[in-house]
Structures are given as structure tokens and as C-alpha cells.
Structure 1
């Protein structure tokens, strides 16, 4: 039997894994140690408190999908002790994972007996792909020892012999015949009672099954009814962001932010981390289903190719530097500065513009079958945040505590992920609502200028708040809308992955009817997201075109064949789907890879980033600083959530100290100085999320009256 352990990843272990991952290597885990001290483990630990024995790992299996490691080992020594702490060590002796508890134990180790450890570790805060378990290829045999089995066989034979002898003796006694007759009569009565009991139990089971089916039907109907109400009162979109400290003191209703707190979607900068976009907690309604996220700080992952596995992703390719930016560092800085000015005035040449890329970030939502274990490992990676529990029950318990008390936990890792009865045919299916945030490259600045992509949205309540500047469009409070959303969203694959192709059809009027593209005569690949489609024959109203959902203008849907997704059977087929909404349009710039000083990439960073103690280089995953400071003049208005403001100092390849800025993605680039004075401000992140309440009848009427008054 194996024991499930929720282990703590030590600080030293996490650093070793990150170093190995950055270097393209894998950290080798080779030994397990046990001790007799019980306590609450801390990440700062480097050894067991009271180690008793350390042995090589006998056998290991890795389950990356569920973030689990199954390990086994045999503890053989002369000691006798309770096992209350377990550590897992790398090849170089680094303590990587630690388990202990202040009360209770795994078991008691006695001197003459080997203690067999069978452990399953749940690890969610480091990538298992950067880990290699080095075992001895020796699965532990936990069966009964042969000697014990032989003793049991001998005892059985001896018992049978005594029984046979006793029966032969008793059969000689006439009284036994009377007893047999009585037993026969009792046996007949017992059989009759057994049949009666069996029938009663069968009736009870059938009644219980009918009751369970009724309860499942009621629960599924209640969940769907709630979704129907939300569908009728809004559209798919963001409904609310966390309300952080509001700078003003107004009591008017518009001081309560909906999707705009200290910024639209509460977006912030983590440019010191390559390809990471800061995004706080969000409440969203997609296709009528409500969920609330953890703090999101997401990376530029995009769906992997079809066949890569459930929820498989890959990092987006890096942006390259235009061939025109060459020469000495000073010459490159001048050319890059001029290039950025041309981005804003639209005069950039095509050869340079193709090195500025449009990536669309989107939220993807689906119902996933809840495993019997109740496990819900995080569905997408963030270098800064992961859900604080790996079970649906644990997550709900924390949310209930927070919602009951009004508390706020510092780490902001507490999502609300609903659980509901979905399929009711056969055994009721329990599912959990999942989400993830990914990105997808949709165009370049060569093909589409900024004015082609987005339009500013005048969010009147936000504009009325006193802390919001007059130039709302030039601030983080600004919200935008995609000009041709279907063009970009239809480039995004669903859960089957990039390159998948699915036909969508339904059985009606004694034949299969195919769903086609919105435009006449076009095909529809249902494995990619679409908002609009057409019927192959007119509907009862004489129309062929339709939007996804009953009355939802901002819902994109895609079919999937992934069996982990909750599905519904009809006419011999199982239908599964996911839904998506756009979140941000991101202008990826060559600044993410442009390194004119030649700051070297390091696996381990030393120095404090000051002029007196410069960094020895840069590290994309943590200290991503290599853009020349002289490219910019000053800093844009930021927020407490930012981690990349200002300049640092780093050594170039020649050992010269250079003033540098963080090189990752920002909401706004720092002001780019102009020859002759002045600066250019370039926005690179455009919030383009639909808003739930803008689909409500009340909002529609309010906007109509606002327009009428204007």
C-alpha cells in the first residue's frame, strides 16, 4: 500500500531544479532518508532534524499529468524508531523535498525487520519535467513471505485432517443424524429467508438508485438553471476584478470598480521575468458559468500541436531583432530609438515591422470530469502563483472561509472553481469548472497597424473617478475592443491542440446536418474557436446563420475529443466543448531579445544589481535585465504590483558595468527619448476583454439613454 504525502519543496531544492531547467538539464533525485523528529516542515530546511537512515531509491514512477511521483525504498538498519520525517535528496546531497508532521507517523521501524516505504508525492510548485528520479529498478515485493505462505498451507492441511477425522467419528453417533435433520430443516427456512432478504435488498437498491438519479437530475437542473439566469442577464466576459485600495475617497457608485481596479484587468508589470504578464484575480462568466481565479501572472504559453497530450503547451518563439539594428552599442541604441518612434507614427518599414508581433491572450474554460480522488491540479503554469490546494474540496473550504470572514490571504492563490453534476445518463457525472490563460500569435505590425487591431472604449464610470487622469487612453485604466474579433479568435485552437480538425454535425430530421462557416460556402473547423456559424438548411425561422449560445454575442466555442472533458451523448455520439474569451492583445517587441551590450546569460546570478555590486549577467527566469537604460528617459506611472521599475546594473561580456532596464513585457514601455527633446510613449498591452454586465438589459437601456442625451 502506498501513502500520499503533500511535501514541501525546499528553497535550495527549488533553486537546484530551476538551475537545472535553465541549463537544459534535469536534477537527479537519488536518495530517500527517514528520521524520528515530528514538526511542521519549512522551505528553508537543508537537512532532516533527526536523520536515522538514508538509502537509495529502489523504484520510481512519474505521473506529470497529475503532478505526482510514486517512489519506493527499503529501510534496513539495526535501529528501532517511529518514522516521522522523510527527505528526498539530489545526487549532490541537496534536500529537495521534505515531509513531516507534528503528530502521527508513517510507521514504526523495528530492528530485525526491513521497513518498506511506498510513497506518492504530490508536487505542484516545480516542473516535473526538470527532474529525473534515479532508481535501482527494483520494485519492492510486498507479498507474503514464502515461509509464511508455507506455514499457512501446512496449517490448513492439518486443520482439514482433524475435521475429516472428527466427522467420521460423529457420523457413527445416531444423535448426529437427528442434528443433521434439524439442520436440513433450518437450512430450508434459511434459504427462504435469504431469498426474501435478497428481494428486499434488491428493492431497496433499486429505490436508492431511483432516488440518486432524481437527486442528480435535480442538482444538474439547478446548476443549469443558475447558468441560464446568468446567460439571460449578461454576456460571456469578465464580471469583476479584486477591489484593491482605491486611491480616491468617493462614495459614488462608480468608485466601485468592476473590471478596472488600479488598471484594466489589474494588469501590472513583471518585465524582470521573460515572457510573463502580470494579471491579478478575475471573476468571469463564460457561457453562463461563473468562476473566480487565483492571481494569474501568466506566461506566453500557446497550445502545443495536436497529439501532444491533454492541456499540452509550448512557449511562444522569441521575438527577433531587425537586421537594420546593427553596429556599436551606441549606434544600435540610436537605431532602436528611431525604430520605436516610427512604431507610434506608423512610418515603420515592413522589413522592421515584421519583428513586432501581435499575440492574443485569452481565457479558456471547460468542464473537466472530477476524478474519484477529487484532485484538481493547477491547469496552467505561473512562475509566481499556483492554487493553494490540489483538491476540489480543499479549494472550496478555503473559499468558504474567505467569503464567510471577508479575509484576504496574502499570496492570492485561492480560486473558486465550481463543482456540479453534469451528465445524468447512467451514473451521474461530477465535473469541475476549469480555466487557463494562454497566448497565440495572430499577426505582426507589418500586416496590421495598431489602428487596425483595437479601438478605445470610453468606460464612463472609470472616467468619472477622480484618480483617473484626463488622458484615460494613455493610462493603465484604458480598455479597448478588438476591431475584428472573429478574425483573431478563429486562429486559436481548442483543447485538441494546434492543427486539429473536427467536423461539427447533429442528427435531425432523420439525417446528419453539418455546421458550416458563417460566410456562405465556407467550411468550419470545429476544433478551433468560433463565435458564428451556419446551418446547412434554414431553421424554423427561415435563417441559417447563428451565434454560439442562446443570446451571447461574446462567446467562442470549440469542440474537443479529450476524454477528460465532460461530455454528453446524443444519437450515438459524445459531444465535448470548451469556450474562450479574449483578454489582452500584446505587442511583442524586439526589446525582449535585443542585447547590444552582450550581457551574458547566467545560470546563477550574483550581485545586487547596484553600481557598486552589479549583476554578473542576466537570467531570463528571474533577473531579466539587459536593455540599455539610455534608450529611455524616466519611467511611466506604475503600481505597487510591478516588480521591474527603474534601472539596474549588470556586467557585460568584457566586465564593464552597464546601466540596464528589465527586458520583458510591460503595459507601457518607459518613455523613449527623442532627439531634440521630448519622449514617445508606447503601449504594448491592450486589455480587450468583453464585460459581462454590458450584455444586460439594464446596461443596454442606460447606454441608449446616454447616447440619446449626447
Structure 2
């Protein structure tokens, strides 16, 4: 592809530079003009073919799997395929701790896929920065503020008392227990770090740098060397009147302070069996390691089975639609930053929020979203649409930035009255995002009980580079540091933890040395007396392979084998190993709406699946919101409740609201019928 692009560029240069200067018109056709016209036509045809080839590549990648991480740099090999480095072993995506740094995190070299674009992200450090809250300027960011220190801690008379009180806040967070400290959630703030990608307009950027990057990738790939360098593809976006318009893929990592409440029970661990076998880990050990990968369940439905020891909940297999991750991503802006607010939609259909709102709320398209609803014209039904043909993990935001390459589409319809084609041209610019991890900021980031002087700014310049004078390495009181900076962020008293690994001595403003340990981010915090270990980093990066049909079949087989007692009814022949085991059945219950023949849309019913948690909530007197299946071109958003007067499964569950109304527009009655 690179060689073809260079050849086309040379051919275009020759075409236009070889055209002779205008001369006096004659009736004789200049053979050179004919030749140049043929060359231009050939070049334009080749350019369009390259556009089609790139589209074919992207469509194949989209159908192969979801947006997510695909591969990582291999440094370890073994006699089994799963003993080679995989995306979650030894650390998921090589997300590493930088616990001596103030607001710095790091990620290794990984191959990602995002909306059909495959690219390589080089290993890098990234800061806890978020998009600007006040400006729409391109790539303008600001630092995420750290949580404050609890007032009850600061009011103590000495450091020892502060340590004891701070431990109680960590115990409350670990156990999610407001009885220990009623206000603990105020001081433990979740942050989602995410990877953002976009096609940038070639006219607004240095194309020579892109070509150099491509040459580097081609050389090292042919030589078999691997240095962890980046690769971002370039493509022809469109061809207009023989002119090719190029675009280059660009990525960056940002973080977002999550506004809504996130319970630890909302997380559940993904069982990466290859990583467990490679690390010789039980499910328990794997869940408490830096290898573990997590996901979030249905929005507003944290698990009832929370383990404070593990730091997450348990999620039974169930259908989901609008998840907690979807709700979090809808808080995050695209390239226009937080001030942007864009509504509307393409093809005359307004996009509405896909959550179970009783009233239709227009979706802010400038924030990252996966699901949205549109109202069908005429029939007044509702259809929920996901971004991406089959991509479960594609989040999209619109933007107005000039640097982002535009996409154009002309929609034409024949008008029977005027006998003419009426055309509407749509122009759109998009950026895409993938979640990487959710990090919990704690009061340790702000806590400075010894009042050590902190020097912000570049650690290679004064005054931040003055804390280590004349070989002061901080290992003894005599060689104590003179303060802290962003690279030597040690302010937590060593006594706060059971074992003071990484301890350093730092002088306070009076010249007294204190033994402290790093206060930066760790995946799993060191052991705290009376508390234990606390997980602070939850990798939530999706994988590309999870969207593949073969992977889905293997995942089903894995569930079947790993949970035989529960899944015995799915075996052709019941395995001997489980014949004596009476396994519990935690499957969903299947209901349908009543049949209706209202036209439009015609005779149909809808399916509804209720999880065991749904049923528990209904029996507790709560209303539960669910989506029906898509039938006859529409679906419904239902709020259902349990009718206590009716027997369980015999008209017991009723529809309270249908699409925000007291009855469904297409004639379904308010009874749900049990199927299995």
C-alpha cells in the first residue's frame, strides 16, 4: 500500500508538471493532451480503487471482532500457545504501576482495533489529565483534581491518630460500608482512563512525518525486529475531481473523573483461562492479581454478591443492553471537550438517550455513546440502535474540529410529484473511544501529614530538581530528600502500611527527616493493618477477539465445562462427574407480551428475559425496566411490576409503562406470559 501511494504521488506530479503551458488554440488535438487526460483518468481510477480496498480491509476487521485490544508485544514463549505472552499475561495490556509518581500511569506496546482500524500503540506514560472544562480548543486538557483529605483526619492531634483514622476510611471503602465512615465515598473518586482515536485531515498535518512512520514500520517488520514503535495507518478518504484527500489515524490517552456513583459491586471479573493457566493461578488468586480484567454490569443494577476481600461482585450470565460503562462513557466528551452539546441525528431521525427514561431525552452526540433510540415515523414505535454493525464496544462522539477528517454522504430519493431526484448531503466528523481502566483516587494523593514541601512542575528544571542535592538518595536520615516532586511523590507515613517497602527519608520544612513511602497509584495497595490489601485499578479494556464468532463458541464451551453442575441440561449426555451433583439453576426466565394484530406494524409478539436479580427486585416490590426484543421493525421500553394478587408466572408480572405511556401504541395488553 505504501509503494502504491508513492507511485500515485509521483504519477500525479508527472501528470501536472508535464502539462505544457497554454498556447494559441488550434483545431488540431494535441496528442500530449490526450495522453495526459488518459493518465489523469487512470490515476483517479486507481485512487478510487485504493479507497475501496481500504474500505474492504476495515469491513473485514469490523466483522472479525469488536473494538478492543488485539495483541501485545511478546517477550515470553512456552511449549503451549497460552504460555506465550497474551494480552492479559503477565499484566493486562502491560498497564504498570508508577507508584513513585504523582499523577503518572503507564501502558505497554499493544495492537488495538477501533471501528475497523488496526493500529499499534507504543509504550508510554500518561497523566491523569482530562479534556478542558471551559474551552473547545483542539486537545486542550487540564489536570484532574485529587480528592481532599477527610476533615476528621486533619483534626487529629498527631500523625499517629491521623493514621488510625485514615485506615478506617480505607476499611469503609474496601467494605463499601457507610457504618464505618458514612462519608467515605466523598474521598474515594473513580476515574476512567480511555483511548481516543480519530482520522485527522491530511491537509492540516505534516504528511512527511506520517510517511517516515510508515517507512519505519515497514523496515522493522521486514527485518523481524521489534522496538515497540507506534503504527498509525494513512488512507485516502475520498477522491474529488481527481484530487485525493488523505487522512491519518491519531490516538491519545485521557482520563475522566466519573460523576455518577460507582459501586465496587458493579464490577465483575472476566475469566481469562489462558492467563490463569500461564500463571498457574486459581480463580481466586487470578482475581486478586494485576492480570485480572473486569467489566461492568447493567446500569443501576450492582451485583447482590459483593466480596470485600476480592473487591468486586459476581455477575451471572444474562442479557444486558445499557450497561454502567455505557452510562459512564456518555459523560465523556469527544474532541470538542466538555462545553460541547450537539443534538439531532442523520437522515432526519433524532437520536434519544437509550436509557430507560420515561420521557424522550435528546442524546448529546458530542459525548461518547454506543446506544441511542430513534422514534419510528408514523407507527410511533421505538428502535434502539447500537454504533457498529456487531461491535459491542464502540463508542462514538461527533465533533466540529477542523483537524478531524470529514465524512460525506449524499442521500437521494426520487420525488414522484416532481419526477426529480431530491438529494441531501450529510457531512459528519467523529472520534472514537475505548475504556482502558478505572482508577480510584484516594486521600493518600493529597494527604501530607508531615507538611513536606512539594515542588511541582518539570522535574528536570529548578526548583523541582533540587530535592536530591549532592547524592541525597533518601535512604538514610542524613541523606534525606529536601522535599517531593512529581517523580518522587513520597508523602505517606511508612507506619500506615504493614510493610514499608520503597521507604525514603524526606525533610520537613524545619529540617526534620521523616520516613515515608510513595503515595502514587498501585493496582493493589500494599497491606494496611486492620484493612488488608485494597484494589485501586480495575482494567476494563475490551478485547477484539470477544466479538469473533469462534471466540463466542469457545466462551460458551468454557462456561459449560467450568460450570458443569449448573449447565448439565445442555449436555447431550450427562457427564459422570456431575451425575451425583444437584446443581442450582440460575438461568433467566423467558416471557412474552400478548399478541397484537394492529396494522401497522402487523401481527407480532415480543420476547422479554428476566434475570434472577430482576425477579428478586420485582418480588421486593420494585419496578424493573427492560427492553423487549426487536420485532416488526420496532421494540419497546417496558417498566414492569409484580401483581401480588396473581399466582407466580400466571399473569404475575404486568407492564406499568410502555415507552413511557400507560399502554403500548401497537395494542399489547399489560400482561407478560411465562414461556420457560
TM-score w.r.t. the length of structure 1 is 0.64
Match of 2:368, SS state, is coil
Contact 1:614 1:651 in 2 (8 A): no
After superposition, what is the alpha-carbon deviation per residue over 1:588-634, rounded to whole angstroms, capped at 9, x for unaligned?
00101101011112322122121154343334322111111111123
Match of 1:583, SS state, is strand
Contact 1:468 1:477 in 2 (8 A): no
Give matches, 1:149-298, under 5 Å.
195=26, 199-245=30-76, 250-298=78-126
2:374 equivalent in structure 1: 535
**Pairwise CA distance, 1:374:** 3.0
Contact 1:282 1:294 in 2 (8 A): yes
Contact 1:238 1:285 in 2 (8 A): yes
After superposition, what is the alpha-carbon deviation per residue over 1:416-437, rounded to whole angstroms, capped at 9, x for unaligned?
0111111233432111111111
2:231 equivalent in structure 1: 416
Give matches, 1:95-494, under 5 Å.
195=26, 199-245=30-76, 250-305=78-133, 307-326=135-154, 327=156, 328-348=158-178, 349-371=181-203, 374-375=206-207, 391-409=209-227, 412=228, 414-426=229-241, 427-443=243-259, 447-452=261-266, 454-468=267-281, 471-483=285-297, 484-494=324-334
Match of 1:325, SS state, is helix
Q: Does 1:582 align with 2:435?
A: yes
Q: Which runs of 4+ in 1 moved over 6 A?
A: 190-194
Match of 2:346, SS state, is strand
**Pairwise CA distance, 1:531:** 0.3
Contact 1:534 1:546 in 2 (8 A): yes
Q: Does 1:610 align with 2:475?
A: yes
1:59 equivalent in structure 2: none
Q: Distance in 1 between matches of 2:534 and 2:542?
A: 23
Q: Distance in 2 between matches of 1:680 and 1:258?
A: 30
After superposition, what is the alpha-carbon deviation per residue over 1:48-84, rounded to whole angstroms, capped at 9, x for unaligned?
xxxxxxxxxxxxxxxxxxxxxxxxxxxxxxxxxxxxx
Kindly tell me: are residues 191 and 527 of structure 1, through their superposed partners in 2, closer, same or farther at Cα, counting changes over 3 Å? closer
Q: Does 1:689 align with 2:541?
A: yes
Q: Which of the pair has more CA radius of gyration?
A: 1
Q: Does 1:666 align with 2:522?
A: yes
Contact 1:324 1:352 in 2 (8 A): no
2:350 equivalent in structure 1: 514
Kindly tell me: are residues 213 and 599 of structure 1, through their superposed partners in 2, closer, same or farther at Cα, counting changes over 3 Å? same
Q: Distance in 2 between matches of 1:343 and 1:503?
A: 38
Contact 1:241 1:261 in 2 (8 A): no
Q: Distance in 1 between matches of 2:335 and 2:233?
A: 20
**Pairwise CA distance, 1:306:** 5.9
2:341 equivalent in structure 1: 501
**Pairwise CA distance, 1:195:** 3.7
Q: Distance in 1 between matches of 2:344 and 2:71?
A: 34
**Pairwise CA distance, 1:191:** 10
Q: Distance in 1 between matches of 2:344 and 2:144?
A: 29
2:413 equivalent in structure 1: none
Q: Distance in 1 between matches of 2:439 and 2:276?
A: 23
Q: Distance in 2 between matches of 1:476 and 1:518?
A: 34
**Pairwise CA distance, 1:220:** 1.2
TM-score w.r.t. the length of structure 2 is 0.67
2:671 equivalent in structure 1: none
After superposition, what is the alpha-carbon deviation per residue over 1:517-570, rounded to whole angstroms, capped at 9, x for unaligned?
224622111000110112232699x86211101111111111111111111223
Match of 1:422, SS state, is strand
Contact 2:89 2:278 in 1 (8 A): no
In structure 1, the gaps of 5 or more residues are 1-189, 376-389, 636-644
**Pairwise CA distance, 1:664:** 1.4
**Pairwise CA distance, 1:346:** 1.8
Q: CA RMSD in A?
A: 2.6
Contact 1:361 1:437 in 2 (8 A): yes
After superposition, what is the alpha-carbon deviation per residue over 1:445-501, rounded to whole angstroms, capped at 9, x for unaligned?
xx333113x111111111111454651111111110022211111111011110211
Kindly tell me: are residues 462 and 563 of structure 1, through their superposed partners in 2, closer, same or farther at Cα, counting changes over 3 Å? same
Match of 2:448, SS state, is coil
Q: Distance in 2 between matches of 1:305 and 1:706?
A: 45
Contact 1:423 1:566 in 2 (8 A): no
After superposition, what is the alpha-carbon deviation per residue over 1:667-702, rounded to whole angstroms, capped at 9, x for unaligned?
12111123xxxx610111100011110110101111
**Pairwise CA distance, 1:443:** 3.7
2:308 equivalent in structure 1: none
**Pairwise CA distance, 1:372:** 7.3
**Pairwise CA distance, 1:285:** 0.4
Q: Does 1:550 align with 2:389?
A: yes
Kindly tell me: are residues 650 and 218 of structure 1, through their superposed partners in 2, closer, same or farther at Cα, counting changes over 3 Å? same
Match of 1:270, SS state, is coil
After superposition, what is the alpha-carbon deviation per residue over 1:279-338, rounded to whole angstroms, capped at 9, x for unaligned?
111211011110101113211111113644111111111221111112211111111122
Contact 2:136 2:338 in 1 (8 A): no
Match of 1:623 among 488, 495, 499: 488
Match of 2:350, SS state, is strand
Q: Distance in 1 between matches of 2:204 and 2:142?
A: 29
**Pairwise CA distance, 1:503:** 2.2
Q: Distance in 2 between matches of 1:192 and 1:428?
A: 28
In structure 2, the gaps of 5 or more residues are 1-20, 298-323, 410-423, 456-462, 565-676
Aligned residue pairs total 481
Kindly tell me: are residues 468 and 618 of structure 1, through their superposed partners in 2, closer, same or farther at Cα, counting changes over 3 Å? farther
